[in-house]
Amino acid sequence: MPVDEEDMTPTTWNTEMALERLLQLCVSGDRPATRDFIGQVQGQGLSSMQLAQELYWPAMQTIFRMYRQDQLTTLAYQYSTRILRMLVDQAQATYPQRARNGHRLLCVCGQNESEDLAGQLCSDLLEAAGYEILFAAGGVANDEILEEAGLRRPDAIVVFAAAASDAPKIRQLIDLIRSTDANPGMPVFCGGGVFARAPGLAQEIGADGTADDVFAVEEMVRCTLCAPKATPRAQPSKRVRAAVA
């Protein structure tokens, strides 16, 4: 049922209603109305981090799923993803920032807009958590990623993928990293819709772990990087099936 803006009052506002209204605005492409609406929501006391967790991420998941299932036109999808990127950019500027923790992460993703947007949101959250982030997005050749890993020595690589067609390239990247000494012992984490739709795929291609959503990635990375280390690769890392988009 459509949500009337007049119903979004301090006494009736709730997350479900707000999400429904945000989706309507995203699909319509109405940027000014979206900004006004988010301003109203912020007036209820939500922080930028709460907006990202309670509205932007669920909106992304819904938009991506609807488009994949042919429930949205390309025009509505592109309106939505561009508006969501605007909101994610605005939120990032006001995230509370933890002290730098000395860990560097290289984040890459598939080439479509959904993967790029999810990758950006997660990268922003990881940066706010204290990590140095190198966000390369999509379309980067595996040999360039490998070279960068050797030069910049990230503590881990995080890969986002929503399309099944991305899996072979990710497998090749992991095999390439494992077969060279560019950065020995560096874990590779995978997430995205393809891993949710294909249980066991992350383990099959050799990923060291995944997380349920973008807000669980930081805990996964932190637990892995802070865990006591044996001889590199002497024991397989714990792998958990899940997805980030």
Domain extents in the chain: 5-92, 104-226
Over residues 18-44, the mean pLDDT reads 95
Domain 104-226 grouped into CATH 3.50.50.60: no
Q: Which of 3-17, 32-46, 130-144 has the weakest average pLDDT?
A: 3-17
- In this predicted structure, what is the pLDDT of residue 4? 46
| Residue 39: CB atoms within 10 Å | 9
Give yes or no for residue 6 having a pLDDT over 60.
no
Q: What is the mean pLDDT of the chain?
A: 83
Give 212's pLDDT tier (boundaries 50, 70, 90): low
Q: Which own/partner contact pairs does 176-184 have at CB distance under 8 Å and 24+ positions apart?
A: 176/142, 176/143, 176/146, 177/146, 177/149, 178/206, 178/233, 180/146, 182/146, 182/147, 182/149, 182/150, 183/149, 183/150, 183/153, 183/154, 184/232, 184/233
The residue that leads in pLDDT, 124 or 112, is 124
User: Which amino acid, 103?
Assistant: H
| Mean local confidence (pLDDT), 101-114 | 90
pLDDT at 108 over 50: yes
**Paired tokens of 32:** 């000014």
The answer as to CATH 1.10.1240 being correct for domain 5-92 is: yes
pLDDT of residue 104 exceeding 70, the answer is yes
